[in-house]
Amino acid sequence: MRFDDRFLEELKSRLRPSDVVGKSVKLRRQGREYAGLSPFTKEKSPSFFVNDEKGFYHCFSSGKHGDIISFLQETERLTFAEAVERLAAEAGMSLPAPDPVAAREEQKRSSLGDWMELAAAWFESELRRPGGQAARAYLEKRALPESEWGRFRLGFAPNNRTGLKDYLIAKGAKPGDLVDAGVLISPEDGGAPYDRFRDRIIFPITDTRGKVVSFGGRAMDPAARAKYLNGPETSLFHKGRLLYGLFEARKILHDGQSGGGKPAMVVVEGYMDVIACQRAKVPAVAAMGTALTEEQMDALWRLHPEPTLCFDGDKAGQRAAHRAIDRALPLLKPGRSFRFSMPVGGKDPDDVMREQGADALRAQLSDTKPFVQALFERERDLEELDTPERKAGLRQRLRAAAGTIADKDLAQAYKDDLRERYDELFQRARPQSSDGGYGGGGGGFRDSGRPFVPRNGGGGWKNGKREPPDPGLRPIARAQIGGRINPFHAAIALAAIDHPGWARSYDEAIERIGFGDPRLQPLAQELFAALCDDHGEDVSLRERLNRRGLSGMLAEVERIAQSDAPFLDKRFDPAKARSLWAACYEAVVEIADSERALDGMRREEITTATLNTTRDLRARIAVLQRQISQLEFWREAL
């Protein structure tokens, strides 16, 4: 009976591997896995593990690995169909009705698979015959010793139009079946089929079980029209699902050969790159000349949460990286992402392995950048950022890219991270305040731990490069507030952070004035940035501030804030709390605007009118400042 993939996935989703395996193997919990003595070998200490999250078991002592179906096949000598029937009964699932057409197709696929295995063996033998001398010399030139050829089942297709065809027909194959398998080509004019691969080094392509389903061939003739040639789509081979080298990569990954799992899983471009990585005990795969598909990404994430993408540094490699970014963005989730490793000096993994050895290759592949950095750099480098329009275009592209992420929490985290990178690239000048801190927008507490120094003092970031700070300027200390902040200002800031909607109608003042104390400006800038992103009123900024390195500052503000401020009391009427906060903040705005007006009047001609206005402004500022300093404003506002 043929079981379709959906039925099998549903079956496996209903049964926990630890429950199925636990019926015959005594398991105990070890972190996220279960451990026990191997059912395949005799051992005294456990080397057999079951992972429910990933749906597999792995035995280090025997090297066996699989799911619940293969476990029953291995331990109870059941056929595939018998194992599925047993598990379906346990899961309470009805078996699909027999399908004669599907049964015939499965039988044909099985038959085609047998011919593919025979073809692979024939290619292997041809590599060692006299006709394969040039191919052997090429492999040796690429520093791939003969001892490794068998491991990767490398072969050679002689320059013979019907060499493989004649061999397989002699074994009983039908030409039509070999065309269906992809090893023969049937001419459009109705002529006799002929070998697809001729005068090429052969790389067998296997499925997840290690069965040969297709071939890739590298031309020996430098003038050949196609340097690399892959088999066509067939009932056995689906290019968008499989990854070259996946079966061997899984063995390396699960056998713990990859040096503690770093690098844990790498996607490279070519067959030889895969082989080079796997020889260096790095689990690597390739997408066989196509962009990574969603199905291939899912297969990678089932094995590792952050595979590394290592594409060539040429234009084709960069296009492949960019396509991978675009396809992956909507699929990203916490625990499902990619990292990027950039070739050093234009050297691909095979070059590094051949010229510098396995240690150098592992080191290069371990030097990675996160997905968000690769995304930012791609958008940044699309054009010169020498005009306001182009800078605004970069910001729009970054926001649009983050918006394609389906997971809302992760999309917001990407927006925050990308905005911070944008701000570091185009940092606004910040005037130095009288107490040595900094006013203006933009905040100085970064994830990297670098205190912000304003560019007008000769420091900070410009065009992505760090400028040395003026030693005469004192940067804001990380997670620390110098001097004493008035509890009134601290309370206003704290309430606005917990209720961004209250500040929405004051967004211009938030950017221009902040909370009335320049030392609180980093918090005001983060609030303003959130308001610009159209966040709703219920959005909390605390996690965002933590990522900016402002958690210490926020804790200090909470300590300083006047505890009896009514709008900080959760028991206080919400509508009255909002109204009171607005009145208090308007007092801060009024003081700032009055001081600005006074500054302007100092430069005007002195008249009776200006003197009277100056006197009134100063009197009003004095009243407001007294109320604020003596914390009388709560009563005044109410």
429-460 pLDDT, tens digit per residue, is 333 333 333 333 333 323 333 333 333 333 33
Q: What DSSP element (H or E) covers 15?
A: none
The stretch 40-53 carries a mean pLDDT of 88
In a domain, 30, yes or no: yes
Same-domain pairing of 142 and 76: no
Report the alpha-carbon distance of residue 138 to residue 218 in Å, rounded. Answer: 11
- Of 231-245, 312-326, 376-390, the least confident: 312-326
Looking at the 3D structure of the chain, how many domains does it have?
A: 4
Same-domain pairing of 83 and 119: no
* Residue 253: per-residue pLDDT: 79
Which residue segment(s) compose the domain that 83 sits in?
5-91
In a domain, 451, yes or no: no
Q: How much of the chain is helix, strand and coil, in % rounded to 5?
A: 50, 10, 40
> Residue with structure tokens 């027999």?
98
Nearest-5° angle of CA 434, CA 439, CA 441? 170
Domain boundary (91, 110, 130) is at: 91
Same-domain pairing of 87 and 119: no
Same-domain pairing of 271 and 358: yes
In a domain, 455, yes or no: no
* Residue 244: per-residue pLDDT: 95
| Mean pLDDT score across all residues of the chain | 80
Same-domain pairing of 388 and 273: yes
Report the CATH number that the domain containing residue 178 is assigned in CATH. Answer: 3.90.980.10
Domain boundary (203, 237, 271) is at: 237
The stretch 164-181 carries a mean pLDDT of 93
Same-domain pairing of 184 and 309: no
Report the CATH number that the domain containing residue 44 is assigned in CATH. Answer: 3.90.580.10
* Residue 463: per-residue pLDDT: 42
Same-domain pairing of 144 and 214: yes
Is the Cβ–Cβ distance between 115 and 178 less than 8 Å?
A: yes
The stretch 404-414 carries a mean pLDDT of 93
- Is pTM beyond 0.85? Reply is no
The stretch 602-627 carries a mean pLDDT of 69
In a domain, 170, yes or no: yes
**Residue 209: which pLDDT band, with cuts at 50, 70 and 90?**
confident
**Residue 588: which pLDDT band, with cuts at 50, 70 and 90?**
confident
Same-domain pairing of 412 and 268: yes
Is the Cβ–Cβ distance between 201 and 254 less than 8 Å?
A: no
Of 452, 580, 584, 454, nearest to 516 by C-alpha is 584
**CA dist 571 → 271, 540, 576 (Å):** 66, 19, 11
Same-domain pairing of 150 and 116: yes
Same-domain pairing of 266 and 353: yes
Report the CATH number that the domain containing residue 349 is assigned in CATH. Answer: 3.40.1360.10
Same-domain pairing of 268 and 416: yes
Of 521, 383, 505, nearest to 452 by C-alpha is 521
The percent of residues above 70 in pLDDT, for the chain, comes to 81
Beta-strand pair 266-268/308-309: parallel
| Secondary structure, 3-state, 428-475 | CCCCECCCCCECCCCCCCCCCCCCCCCHHHCCEEECCEEECCCCCCCC
Max avg pLDDT among 78-92, 125-139, 254-268: 125-139
The percent of residues above 90 in pLDDT, for the chain, comes to 36
**Does the pLDDT at position 222 exceed 60?**
yes
**Residue 26: which pLDDT band, with cuts at 50, 70 and 90?**
very high
Same-domain pairing of 375 and 303: yes
Q: Which two tokens stand for residue 54?
A: 């990933």
Domain boundary (72, 91, 110) is at: 91
Three-class DSSP category at 321: helix
Report the alpha-carbon distance of residue 567 to residue 492 in Å, rounded. Answer: 9
In a domain, 288, yes or no: yes
In a domain, 47, yes or no: yes
- Give Cβ neighbours of residue 107 (< 8 Å, ≥ 6 apart): none
**CA dist 87 → 5, 69, 70, 84, 173 (Å):** 15, 8, 11, 5, 36
**Residue 605: which pLDDT band, with cuts at 50, 70 and 90?**
low
**Residue 200: what residue type?**
R
Cβ neighbourhood burial of 154 (10 Å; 0-12, 13-18, 19+): buried
In a domain, 214, yes or no: yes
The stretch 69-73 carries a mean pLDDT of 91
479: alpha, beta or left? (left if phi > 0; alpha if psi -120 to 50): left
The stretch 89-115 carries a mean pLDDT of 77
Which has more pLDDT, 78 or 143? 143
In a domain, 250, yes or no: no
